Each structure stands twice: as C-alpha cells, then as structure tokens.
Structure 1
Amino acid sequence: MYVAVKGGEQAIARSLELLAEARRGDPAVPELELTQIREQLRLGVARVMQEGSLYDEELAALAIRQAAGDMLEAIFLLRAYRTTLPRFGYTLPLETDGMRVRRRVSGTFKDIPGGQVLGPTADYTQRLLDFDTTPPTATTSAEAPLPAEMPRVLDLLEAEALIEPADADSDPEPLDLTREPLTFPADRATRLQNLARGDEGYLLGLAYSTQRGYAESHPFAGEIRMGEVDVCICPEELGFSIEIGSITVTECQMINQFHGGNGVPPQFTRGYGLSMGEGERKAMSMALVDRALRCDELGETAHAPAQDQEFVLSHSDNVEASGFVQHLKLPHYVDFQAELSLLRTLAKQQAADSGEQPLHAAGGLHA
C-alpha cells in the first residue's frame, strides 16, 4: 500500500511539472504579461471578476494566465483566493443613476433623453476574422461631450403608470451568500445575488428558454448602460459615507408584459441584471431570468425550468458544478467494485432461476 501511495505521489508531481510546461508553451515565444491580458482580453477579465466575486483586474488576469485561458478554472482560482482576504465591511448600494456612461442603448425607444450611446461593442460588426493586426488610426474629430445626466428610460413609463414602480427602498437586506447558506423560498434580493455569481453560459441558456416560450414572458430591452460608478462605504467610526473608488459595471433593465390581476391593472413589469465590467450578455440573461423567477409574486403559473427558483439557483454556480462533475475523474474503485459485485450476483441469480449457464468473468477486472 505504501509503494502504491508513493507511486501516486510521484505521478502527481510529474503531472504538475507537465502542466507547468504546457501552460508556458514554447519558451521561444514571449510570455504573456498581465497588462496584455488586462487590456486586450478585458471581457474575459470582467467575467472572471464577476463570477469570482472579486473586483481586481490584475488578479483576474493572473488567474486567466495560470489557468491557460480556462475561464472556469480562473474563476475557481480567484474565488479561492478571495476566501483568504479579510472583510472590512460592506459597501452601500451602488447609485447607478449617477453612472459615468460609456455605452447606453434602448431597444424600446429610438429617441431617449441623453441619446443612444453606442460605445465599445461588437454588435455592429460582421463577425469576420480580421487578419489585419495594424492598430486603428486615432480619429481627429472631436466628439461632443455626453450629457451629465441621462434619465432612465423606464422612468418615462413609470411617469405614465405603465410599468410597475421601482420600489428599491423596500428591498430587504440581502443575505451574504458567501457566509450564509441559500434557503428556499429565496427573496428577490437573494436571488439576484445568486444570479450575479452564476455561470454566464447557464444563465444564457435559461434566458434563451424564456424567449422560446418556456416562461410567461415577452421581453424588450428597456435600457442597457455601461460605465463607471462610485463605490461608497459608511464606517461606523465616522457615521457618514465616504467614496473609496469606482468600478465599471453593466446594468440591464428589461421590460416585460403583464396582463394584471388581483386588483393590479395591466402594466409592464421589470427584470433586472447587473454585472461587473463590460458584461452585457450576462446582465441581459440575468434580467430575463430574474423576471421569470418573479412568477409567484406576479400570480403566474410556474411551468418552465427558468421559473423554478430551486432548480435555477441550486445549479447556477459554475465552481460548484465544475467540481461536482470533475470529481468523477478521481478514484471510485471501492464504490464501483461494490456495484460490480452486486451486478454479478444478480446476473448469477437470474441465470440460476432461468436454468441458463452463467457467464464467467475469466480474468475479470479488479480494483
């Protein structure tokens, strides 16, 4: 047994050496620097920060390089590092009304207060591989400054009582899911926290399902905005809030149909999504799933996977999901031998009952 363990240790050590070699690649090729990853793979960095629950571009870039581009592994690395950090307190809710906008579009109104701001996006490209590596020439035309304030598109509908009011002041204090277990039923604030940490691909699939009829929803992109917002805390020793920095976020507010009922007039309803950095797909998917999960609150019949909060929230965490799937690669010799022995016993019993000659596993496999 000791020899087998030692052999396993040596194999693992060699595996780690091979991993380091594979990660580095050809030594003749210059190694990727963190600045390059942070500046040129900013969307990947944003996703790793979002699902790793740690806003630090340098650490996210380091995790991506260490994981050789495997985003789920990078998210795992960043989240594991996050658990080692001390917690000094909680920030105040972000005031996205005062966002310093870099991109802001609406799919519901063409002319909106403050105008449509296309910003940095691939939405208008042809999705063709670009083999020209020449950096673009800087434009000399002066752009008009953006308005200091950009009223929310949904506020226009709320002013006419055509959409449910945004009752943010009545939201309960959310649980800290990094310290407290998720329980059901979960309130909306807790659900949104869970979705914010959830896997983008998983949420995208659920969001897509709602558009294909697997939920009581017909969405419109009311407003999507991306930019910088201030982060504030209120230290107990001061008694007032102070600004400690700013972060880039993407916010999405979806407009959904609602036929009314229980004394509520027909009106539009809301779905909300917020992601760190530039993450429109994540924010949009989150907003669609958020609206689907409000079915009980709005008196709708839950009949689709995206409306089942226990199913959605319990399977959204890619770190947990990846670990549970990949643990199947680890030794399960004892468990399998137990099932194999049981299956052989049942096969012999069935053969005996039917009078057939049982098949013998000459030289069969053993653990």
Structure 2
Amino acid sequence: MYVAVKGGERAIDNAHAWLAEERRGDPAVPELGVAQIREQLALSVNRVMAEGSLYDPDLAALAIKQARGDLIEAVFLIRAYRTTLPRFGASQPVDTGAMDCLRRVSATFKDVPGGQVLGPTFDYTHRLLDFALMAEGEVPVAPGEPVEPAAVPHVTGFLNRDGLIQQEPASDAAPGDLTREPLELPASRALRLQSLARGDEGFVLGMAYSTQRGYARNHAFVGELRIGTCCIEMEIPELGFAVEIGEVELTECETVNQFKGSKTEPPQFTRGYGLTFAQNERKAISMALVDRALRWRELGEDNSGAPAQDEEFVLMHSDNIQATGFLEHIKLPHYVDFQSELELVRKIRAEAMAANTASQEAAE
C-alpha cells in the first residue's frame, strides 16, 4: 500500500464511503438482494465461482453485489475469502459419467444413448431485446413432464470401441495444486487444466478463437458438452470408505480433433478437455480447444508458433487476478519513479541539444 502524503488515510476512508453510496444507488429503488443475484444472475455467479475456485453460489452472489457487478473484482473477493478457509481433505475424483444431466449435446453423433438434451440454452434464441422483462409478470414455466434421469455414457466412448481416438493414460499420481504452490514450467496437463479452469473467460475464449482461425492448425468438433450435477465423495479415514458429502453442478466438454499422426502416434482422433463449475459452457469449450493446442509436444506435433501453443504465454497471462493487479497498480502513486524518469529525459534532451548545437557550430 502506498502512503504518499499525510491525510491519505482520511481520503481513503472517504473514498470507501463514497463507494458504498454508489454501490447502493438510488435509495428510491429497492435494494438488490443476494438471493435475487444468485437466482436471476446465475451465469455471472457461475463465472465468479469458476474463476474464484470456490463453489458457493451465495458467497459468489454476495461478492458480485459488493463489487457492483464487476466480476473480476468479485473473483478477487472470493479468492481472498477462500484463503481463510480450513482444508479438511480432498474429495474423490468426480464421475462425470454418472452426471444427472440437464443439458447434454453432441455435434459429432445425432443419436446417442440418453439422447440429446438441449436444456436451458441461448443457442436458439433470436437475440432480440425482450421488453416484457422490463414489466413485472408471472414467472415463466417450462412445458413438459419431468423426465427421469437416463444413463448418459460419454460419446467419445463410441470412438474408443473402434480404436479411433487416442487412449488417455491413467495415473494414480496426485496432481499438483495451484492454490498452494506456484506454477512451474513446463507444466503437466493436470496443472494446465487447473490454470485454464480458473483463468479469465475472455482470455481463454480469445486463445480458443485463435485456434479456430488457423493459429494452431487445429480443427475441432464438440464430441460432447454436458451440464448437470455430480455427487462429491470424500474418504473418511475413521470409516475406511468414501461417503457422499454433497453435489455440485459442473460443465464438461470433450472435443474431438483431427490428427494425421506423428512419429510416435498413428492417425487417429485426439481430445481436448474442459471442466468447470456450474453452467459455464463457453468457458468449458474454450478450455478444451486450448488444452488440445497445448498438447502438441506430447502428441509429437510441430509447434507452428501459434500463441495458443505457447504454454508460458497462455498460462502466465490467463489469470485475471494477477493481470488486474499488475495492470491496476500503475494507477497508484509512482511519484518518485516518475521524477527519476523526468530527470533522465531532461538530461538526455539537454545532451542532445548541446550535441546538435555543437555540430551546427562546427558546420559553420
């Protein structure tokens, strides 16, 4: 924290009070409640949970309210709060194959066991402003009868049976934890996925878009996108077995990518993978595309020099909290630094002018 002049603390206190006033807005307008944000701005809540690495819709909604809707500031608040929480242990790997899906689509197969489930999606809306939302009305209700959950095996399993898709190597090794240890390069795939999962959605989306425009020569199909709830289990040492401790909503995406083969791998399809908290499908798809681009080394591909293939560039710039901190610190007082720069520029200008004058005199 910079303390540049006396009286700065009073100014900061006044700034905090003004911020609270601006956050509240017009007192004549009813105050927005945390429950309203949680239920009606769910996609913003989901993004804050994903990038904040903390699954708690109420706290994410509170952070959004406190941050006046600034989602990056809300992510910062959630991460800061997360560091105060005790850690009791680690859960078992989540079985997404047993997910209770509310949305499940595949762009590679039309007919799949369990069926295509469109779910709540903007995909087929007309992107026209609905002015009816400005008026209070009845709560909309989706038509249809409740459907019992059906088995929804992963679509890529069909390619597995024919040996057309690369087998993912199994490992019992515990992955690293970016929330406890700094990222070191080169990073394992598990660490890369962790970094992408909590990375800024806009940045990861931009990297993914670049791969589709040719900056990685990587053409992908969405093998499967699924959103739903999964059981979380944790092994209790005193019991000697795992027990269910709750449920979380997740979004999972597996892409199927063309692969012509290399010196170490035969021609086949390969995967990109994305998994994130709650309904967050743009992020999950983007993750999968960037994940696949970063796998060039392990698949024996050539590096075309694309930004999305540069592990250091992607992972070191995807975190919005680090980026925001470094970016916004330059608006804080840098008086001493600037004065030294100012003196340096004046000295260089004086030397340049003296040299110019001397050369003119010599020419005369």
Instruction: Please state which band the TM-score falls in when normalised by the shorter chain.
Output: over 0.9
Aligned residue number for residue 37 of structure 1: 37
Q: Report the alpha carbon displacement of residue 235 of structure 1 after superposing the two structures with TM.
A: 2.5
Contact in 2 for aligned 1:91/1:233 (Cα 8 Å): yes
Residue-by-residue CA offset, 1:85-136 (whole Å, 9 max, x unaligned):
1111111111101000100000111111111000111111001110113345
Over 3 Å counting, the alpha-carbon distance change for 1:140 and 1:331 in structure 2 is closer
Q: 1:257-296 counterparts in 2 under 5 A?
A: 257-296=258-297
Range that drifts further, 295-304 or 265-274: 295-304
CA contact (8 A) 1:173 1:189 kept: no
Query: Is the partner of 2:73 in helix, strand or coil?
Result: helix
Q: Deviations over 1:145-198 (max 9, x none)?
A: 342x1121100011001111133x326421111111111110101111111110
| Alignment correspondent of 1:105 | 105
Tell whether the 8 Å contact from 1:48 to 1:74 is kept in structure 2 after alignment.
yes
- Whether the 8 Å contact between 2:221 and 2:256 is mirrored in structure 1 is yes
Alpha-carbon distance in structure 2 between the residues aligned to 1:318 and 1:4? 28
Measured at CA, do residues 320 and 262 of structure 1 come closer, stay the same or move farther in structure 2, by a change above 3 Å? same
Tell me which residue corresponds to 1:239: 240
Q: Structure 2: which amino acid aligns with 1:337?
A: Q
Q: Distance in 2 between matches of 1:180 and 1:262?
A: 35
Counterpart pick for 2:145 among 137, 142, 145: 142
- Structure 1, residues 281-307: CA drift from partner, whole Å, max 9, x if none? 000000000000000111112210100
- Partner Cα separation in structure 2 for residue 139 and residue 209 of structure 1: 37
What residue number does 2:62 align with? 62
Unaligned runs of at least 5 residues, structure 2: 360-364
SS at structure 1 position matched to 2:103: strand
Aligned length: 353
Match of 1:313 among 315, 329, 343: 315
Question: 1:329 aligned to 2:325?
Answer: no
- The reply to whether residue 248 of structure 1 matches residue 240 of structure 2 is no
Q: Distance in 2 between matches of 1:308 and 1:171?
A: 28
Query: In structure 1, what is the equivalent of residue 89 of structure 2?
Result: 89
**CA apart distance, 1:137:** 4.7
3-state SS of 2:208 partner: helix
Percent identity at matched positions?
Answer: 60
- Name the structure 2 match of 1:200: 201
CA contact (8 A) 2:265 2:300 kept: no
SS of alignment partner, residue 325 of structure 1: helix
Q: 1:216 to 1:297 in 2, by over 3 A?
A: farther
Q: Give, in whole Å, the separation in 1 of the partners of 2:299 and 2:4.
A: 60
Instruction: Work out the CA distance in 1 between the residues paired with 2:186 and 2:5.
Output: 46
Report if the CA contact (8 A) 2:265-2:299 is conserved.
no
State the SS of the aligned residue for 2:7: helix
Aligned amino acid, residue 323 of structure 1: G
Q: 1:22 to 1:344 in 2, by over 3 A?
A: same
Question: Match for residue 365 of structure 1?
Answer: none
3-state SS, counterpart of residue 5 of structure 1: coil
Structure 2 distance, partners of 1:143, 1:243, is 25
Q: Is the 8 A contact 2:224 2:254 kept in 1?
A: yes
1:178 is matched with 179
Structure 1 residue runs without a partner (length 5+): 358-367
> Match of 1:86, SS?
coil
Q: Secondary structure at the match of 2:104?
A: strand
Partners of 2:207 and 2:308 lie apart in 1 by 6
Is the 8 Å Cα contact of residues 226 and 250 (structure 1) preserved in structure 2?
yes
Distance 2:162 2:251 in 1: 26
CA distance, structure 2, for counterparts of residue 56 and residue 115 of structure 1: 30
Q: Is the 8 A contact 1:172 1:189 kept in 2?
A: no
CA 1:85–1:141 in 2, change beyond 3 Å: closer, same or farther? Answer: closer
Alpha-carbon separation, structure 2, partners of 1:314 and 1:47: 20
Q: Note if 1:52 corresponds to 2:52.
A: yes
Partners of 1:92 and 1:233 within 8 A in 2: yes
Amino acid across the alignment from 1:142 = E
Tell whether the 8 Å contact from 2:67 to 2:74 is kept in structure 1 after alignment.
yes
Structure 2 residue aligned with 1:130: 130
What displacement does 1:333 show? 0.7
Give distance in 2, aligned partners of 1:225 and 1:306: 24
